[in-house]
């Protein structure tokens, strides 16, 4: 009897190859029209345009130049490794840009996204292939995972795709350990997931614990005490290997006040926004709304929550069919637990270390489990697909019809108006509904071929997933681009040109300002700036801004009323985009901040110069205590910082011999004239020069007596300083900045920066790598003494719940029997 090979022989029919190429091909189809439209770039809107693109290019240039220390172009200054490990430093996709020149990096954003979708399809297949006999179904499952609503939604957050790519590998490695006791692979995948993105790694660990516990309880797995502790050891070693990046990151993020925000009271049990429950449910049955523009639930307060879990073509049919199956199964329990966690705030927050800020950024885990349930149903012969489709269609319409047709009466100025529909954008809403319903109808048609031809059935499924994905992803991207700045008239000619048309006088150091312009415009030109849209910056910046009345959450965007801040931080230039109606010049022809004069128009921007610019590094005659500073009217504090240095009580006792107390000084007024005089006085007490690089800065200062010299550089523990070659204490002054004491005469001031935690992290990594190698070699020798199978793997008696080997044979046999009876 001749046996048919389970796997195709030709390399182009290899299932790994198929999964990867299908992912590449489908994503190419919906990205390429927009890449062509934007002349080779892929530009979207919001965070993608103003964070992902400039971050990639700026970090690319920093790495190529060896500038791993301090980033002068991130807000007022930031720890480069700590600030960019979340966004890109651990990503292998970012490192692929290094061989290319700087100007090529923005062109690579589209191809890299296509590559990420292809890799997600491949790694999804790697995990799913264990659970089905027909490997074509596993390929389809990989495509469902790669092109789920979560993945398409997070084109907006480009760096989220790294977690989508690597997570299935960690789960597959855990499976391999539990089924075959393969040593070392789990440790490597733990390292990869932790190194790629520490934020998502937290959620992945939480799920692995849930996954592990459920499968043990359901008796799907068995494990001895020894093997359990060896598995734990692999996890620890994996984390330890990532410490070269993880340690600097931890020391950076613990400074951020947003980290300490646990769920509390009723808000831990119920969402305070009732529409959020509908939004979560809607994300399972419909393509995702674009970020920042929720349509089905406008007031769910989850604009950037990454709520998306829809599976193209299938929607929830496979999940519902699987859950309706009577047999007990670990996957049914897992899905039930995940759905429960999505609905309970404190359980949802477990995926982000119990932070109460609402995000559903773990839903890629849910979509992987949903994909597994869906492809499992394709093999099971006892799935009632008609019932599953009816349930899915009823729930889909049950969400769509009330939201789309509900009357809404409003009264304004004694005029009552009745409208129909609760959605914000009716055209988009009904388009989403149409895609969801047509997807189910197409699935119903394809399922008719399930018992007729396995080949045609899988082909039609592939085509169906491809068509629906291309349609909804194209529509999603097109909607996003309607919310963007003008790519052809603004972003491409004035931002992506790197500021090559700017011609400004050289100075030792000068920060820039942008008036109501696109976020992070300075990063495109790689100029130091006081404007920044960046979540992870030194804690001292987070501490300083609120004290002068500026909100600092995910960005630094000080209003023009804080004009004293500009001179304090050595801000010389202001750029005002000429292509909009928000202008820095008022109707009477004067500037919106005192002391600024028009300089020139270059690169599409009017340029204004601060006539009261203060060079970096200056001193004071007076001091204020922090207590006195906090008692001052908030809007005057930015001006006070040009008059006196703010010290804590310990510093007052230490430096009262070189600074005078400012309280009671009658010259402290807060008029524009006083501001001009203060700036001129600080200019007269400024450093003669200032040079800087990624690892520190040097300045020269001449004084008639001992003084404290202030630098508007955020205070951080990685800084050390010398004056004339002698180590000196760095004082944290002015609520977050640095100062050092200098003697009379001319002094050379040198600050040196070393990334906190980098050396310790490198040592831990350096020790963990040989430990892992030793562990694998030792366990290989130990395992070789045990019974091994033909593939040189240890054999264990484990219960493999899927797949059912004879599913298709039984189905085809029943079909033939019915045909014969007819």
The CB density around residue 643, as the number of other CB atoms within 10 Å, is: 24
Statement: residue 822 has pLDDT above 70: no
Ranked by mean pLDDT, the top range of 201-215, 407-421, 808-822 is 201-215
Mean pLDDT across 673-700: 97
Statement: residue 513 has pLDDT above 90: yes
pLDDT for 788: 43
Helix, strand and coil percent figures for the chain, each rounded to 5: 50, 15, 35
Same domain, 183 and 325: yes
Residue 701 lies in a domain: yes
**What is the pairing mode between strands 696-703 and 726-728?**
unpaired
Statement: residue 213 has pLDDT above 60: yes
pLDDT for 785: 58
Q: What tens digit of pLDDT does each residue of 461-495 get? A: 999 999 999 999 999 999 999 998 888 999 999 99
Same domain, 544 and 644: no
Statement: residue 813 has pLDDT above 70: no
d(CA 542, CA 21): 45
Mean pLDDT across 735-758: 97
Of the ranges 660-674, 704-718, 731-745, 776-790, which one carries the lowest mean pLDDT score? 776-790
Statement: residue 566 has pLDDT above 60: yes
Same domain, 337 and 400: yes
Same domain, 594 and 635: no
pLDDT for 314: 97
Residue 50, token pair as written in the block:
């103003």
Same domain, 151 and 291: yes
Q: What tens digit of pLDDT does each residue of 13-43 get? A: 799 999 999 999 999 999 999 999 999 999 9
pLDDT for 325: 86
Q: What tens digit of pLDDT does each residue of 355-405 get? A: 999 999 999 999 999 999 999 999 888 899 999 999 999 999 999 999 999
pLDDT for 130: 94
pLDDT for 419: 83
Tell me the sheet residues that pair with 746: 702
Mean pLDDT across 250-270: 88
Share of the chain above pLDDT 70, in %: 93
Same domain, 515 and 450: no
Same domain, 547 and 622: no
H/E stretch holding 68 reads none
Statement: residue 49 has pLDDT above 60: yes
Q: Between 801 and 705, where is the model more confident?
A: 705
Could you give the count of Cα atoms lying within 13 Å of 73 in the half-sphere of its Cβ?
Answer: 21
Residue 406 lies in a domain: yes
Instruction: Categorize the per-residue pLDDT at 821 as very low, low, confident or very high, splitting at 50, 70 and 90.
Output: low
Of the ranges 100-104, 180-184, 728-732, which one carries the lowest mean pLDDT score? 180-184
Instruction: Categorize the per-residue pLDDT at 411 as very low, low, confident or very high, splitting at 50, 70 and 90.
Output: confident
Same domain, 222 and 304: yes
pLDDT for 48: 96
Q: Report whether the peptide linkage leading into residue 803 is cis, meaning its omega lies within 30 degrees of zero.
A: yes
pLDDT for 797: 40
Instruction: Categorize the per-residue pLDDT at 9 as very low, low, confident or very high, splitting at 50, 70 and 90.
Output: low
Residue 497 lies in a domain: no
- What's the order of all strands across the beta sheet hosting 644-647? 644-647, 622-625, 660-661
Of the ranges 149-163, 656-670, 757-771, which one carries the lowest mean pLDDT score? 656-670
- ∠ CA 182-188-189, rounded to 5°: 95
Q: Provide the 8-state DSSP code for 5.
A: P
pLDDT for 231: 97
Could you give the count of Cα atoms lying within 13 Å of 602 in the half-sphere of its Cβ?
Answer: 17
Residue 72 lies in a domain: no
Statement: residue 816 has pLDDT above 80: no
Same domain, 416 and 527: no
The CB density around residue 755, as the number of other CB atoms within 10 Å, is: 22
Tell me the sheet residues that pair with 574: 513, 608
- ∠ CA 378-384-386, rounded to 5°: 100
Q: Provide the 8-state DSSP code for 636.
A: G
Query: Average pLDDT of the chain?
Result: 92
Residue 27 lies in a domain: yes
pLDDT for 5: 44
Find the length of the chain. Answer: 822
Query: Of 565, 590, 610, which residue constitutes the final position of a domain?
Result: 610
Tell me the sheet residues that pair with 41: none
Residue 242 lies in a domain: yes
Whether this model's pTM surpasses 0.85: yes
Q: What tens digit of pLDDT does each residue of 294-328 get? A: 999 999 999 999 999 999 999 999 999 999 987 88
Query: Of 610, 643, 669, which residue constitutes the final position of a domain?
Result: 610
Residue 364 lies in a domain: yes
Same domain, 651 and 591: no
d(CA 314, CA 383): 14
pLDDT for 815: 47
Instruction: Categorize the per-residue pLDDT at 567 as very low, low, confident or very high, splitting at 50, 70 and 90.
Output: very high
DSSP secondary structure string for all residues of 572-610 = EEEEEETTSS--SB-TTS-BSSTTEEEEEEETTEEEEEE
The count of domains in the chain is 3
Mean pLDDT across 44-52: 95
**What is the pairing mode between strands 407-412 and 78-79?**
unpaired
pLDDT for 19: 97
Dihedral Cα 281, 283, 289, 292, nearest 10 deg: 70
pLDDT for 526: 96
Q: Which domain holds residue 170?
A: 16-45+90-481
Q: What tens digit of pLDDT does each residue of 132-173 get? A: 999 999 999 999 999 999 999 999 999 999 999 999 999 999
**What is the pairing mode between strands 622-625 and 644-647?**
parallel
d(CA 780, CA 776): 6
Instruction: Categorize the per-residue pLDDT at 453 as very low, low, confident or very high, splitting at 50, 70 and 90.
Output: confident
Same domain, 599 and 634: no
d(CA 421, CA 425): 9
Of the ranges 146-155, 741-750, 803-812, which one carries the lowest mean pLDDT score? 803-812
Query: Of 738, 753, 768, which residue constitutes the final position of a domain?
Result: 753
Q: What tens digit of pLDDT does each residue of 573-628 get? A: 999 999 998 999 998 889 999 999 999 999 999 999 999 999 999 999 999 999 99
Mean pLDDT across 64-69: 96
Residue 691 lies in a domain: yes
Same domain, 517 and 454: no
Mean pLDDT across 657-665: 83
């Amino acid at each position: 009897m001749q046996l048919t090979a389970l796997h195709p022989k030709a390399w182009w029919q290899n299932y790994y190859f198929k999964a990867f190429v299908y992912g590449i091909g489908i994503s190419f189809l919906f990205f390429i029209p927009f890449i062509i439209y934007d002349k080779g770039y892929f530009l979207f809107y919001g965070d993608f345009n103003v964070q992902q693109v400039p971050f990639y290019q700026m970090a690319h240039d920093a790495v190529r130049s060896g500038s791993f220390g301090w980033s002068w172009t991130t807000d007022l200054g930031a720890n480069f490794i700590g600030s960019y490990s979340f966004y890109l430093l651990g990503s292998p996709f970012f490192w692929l840009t290094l061989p290319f020149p700087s100007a090529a990096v923005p062109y690579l954003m589209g191809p890299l996204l296509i590559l990420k979708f292809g890799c997600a399809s491949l790694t999804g297949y790697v995990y799913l292939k264990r659970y089905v006999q027909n490997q074509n179904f596993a390929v389809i499952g990989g495509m469902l995972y790669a092109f789920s609503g979560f993945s398409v939604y997070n084109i907006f957050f480009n760096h989220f795709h790294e977690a989508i790519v690597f997570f299935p590998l960690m789960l597959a490695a855990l499976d391999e350990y539990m089924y075959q006791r393969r040593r070392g692979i789990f440790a490597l995948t733990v390292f990869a997931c932790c190194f790629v993105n520490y934020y998502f790694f937290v959620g992945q660990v939480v799920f692995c614990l849930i996954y592990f516990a459920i499968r043990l309880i359901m008796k799907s797995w068995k494990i001895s005490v020894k093997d359990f502790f060896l598995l734990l050891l692999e996890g620890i070693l994996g984390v330890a290997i990532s410490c070269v990046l993880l340690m600097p990151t931890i020391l950076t993020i613990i400074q951020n006040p947003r980290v300490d925000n646990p769920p509390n009271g009723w808000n831990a049990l119920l969402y305070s926004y009732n529409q959020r429950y509908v939004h979560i449910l809607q994300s399972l049955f419909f393509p995702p709304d674009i970020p920042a523009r929720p349509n089905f639930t406008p007031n769910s307060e989850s604009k950037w929550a990454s709520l998306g879990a829809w599976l193209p073509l299938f929607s929830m049919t496979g999940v519902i069919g699987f859950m309706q199956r009577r047999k007990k199964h670990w996957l049914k329990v897992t899905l039930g637990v995940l759905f429960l966690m999505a609905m309970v705030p404190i359980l949802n927050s477990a995926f982000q270390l119990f932070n109460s800020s609402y995000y559903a950024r773990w839903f890629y885990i849910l979509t992987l489990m949903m994909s597994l349930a869906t492809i499992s149903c394709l093999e099971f012969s006892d799935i009632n697909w008609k019932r599953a489709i009816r349930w899915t269609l009823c729930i889909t319409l049950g969400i769509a019809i009330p939201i789309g047709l509900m009357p809404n009466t409003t009264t304004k100025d004694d005029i009552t108006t009745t409208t129909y529909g609760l959605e914000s954008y009716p055209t988009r809403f009904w388009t989403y509904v149409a895609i969801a319903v047509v997807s189910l109808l197409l699935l119903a048609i394809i399922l008719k071929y399930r018992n007729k031809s396995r080949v045609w059935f899988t082909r039609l499924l592939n085509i169906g997933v491809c068509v629906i994905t291309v349609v909804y992803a194209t529509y999603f991207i097109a909607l996003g681009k309607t919310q963007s700045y003008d790519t052809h008239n603004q972003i491409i000619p004035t931002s992506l040109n790197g500021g090559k048309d700017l011609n400004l006088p050289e100075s030792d150091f000068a920060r820039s300002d942008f008036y109501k312009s696109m976020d992070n415009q300075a990063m495109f030109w790689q100029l130091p700036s006081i404007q920044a849209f960046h979540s992870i910056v030194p804690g001292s910046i987070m501490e300083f801004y609120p004290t002068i009345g500026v909100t600092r959450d995910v960005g630094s965007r000080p209003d023009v009323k804080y004009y004293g801040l500009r001179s304090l931080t050595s801000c010389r230039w202001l750029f005002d985009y000429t292509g909009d109606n928000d202008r820095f010049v008022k109707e009477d022809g004067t500037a919106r901040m005192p002391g600024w004069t028009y300089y020139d128009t270059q690169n599409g921007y009017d340029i204004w110069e601060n006539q009261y610019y203060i060079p970096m590094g200056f001193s004071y005659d007076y001091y204020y205590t922090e207590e006195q500073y906090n008692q001052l009217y908030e809007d005057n504090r930015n001006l006070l910082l040009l008059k006196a240095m703010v010290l804590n009580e310990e510093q007052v006792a230490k430096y009262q011999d070189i600074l005078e107390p400012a309280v009671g000084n009658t010259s402290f007024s807060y008029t524009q004239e006083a501001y001009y005089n203060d700036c001129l006085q600080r200019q007269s007490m400024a450093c003669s020069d200032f040079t800087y690089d990624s690892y520190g800065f040097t300045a020269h200062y001449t004084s008639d007596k001992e003084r404290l010299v202030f630098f508007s550089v955020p205070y951080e523990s990685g800084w050390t300083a010398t004056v004339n070659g002698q180590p000196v204490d760095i004082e944290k002054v002015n609520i977050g900045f640095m100062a050092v004491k200098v003697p009379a005469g001319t002094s050379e001031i040198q600050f040196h920066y070393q990334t906190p935690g980098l050396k310790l992290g490198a040592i831990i990594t350096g020790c963990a790598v040989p430990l892992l190698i030793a562990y694998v070699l030792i366990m290989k020798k130990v395992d070789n003494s045990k019974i091994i199978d033909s593939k040189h793997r240890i054999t264990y008696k484990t219960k493999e719940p899927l797949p059912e080997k004879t599913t298709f044979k039984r189905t085809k046999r029943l079909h033939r029997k019915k045909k014969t009876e007819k």
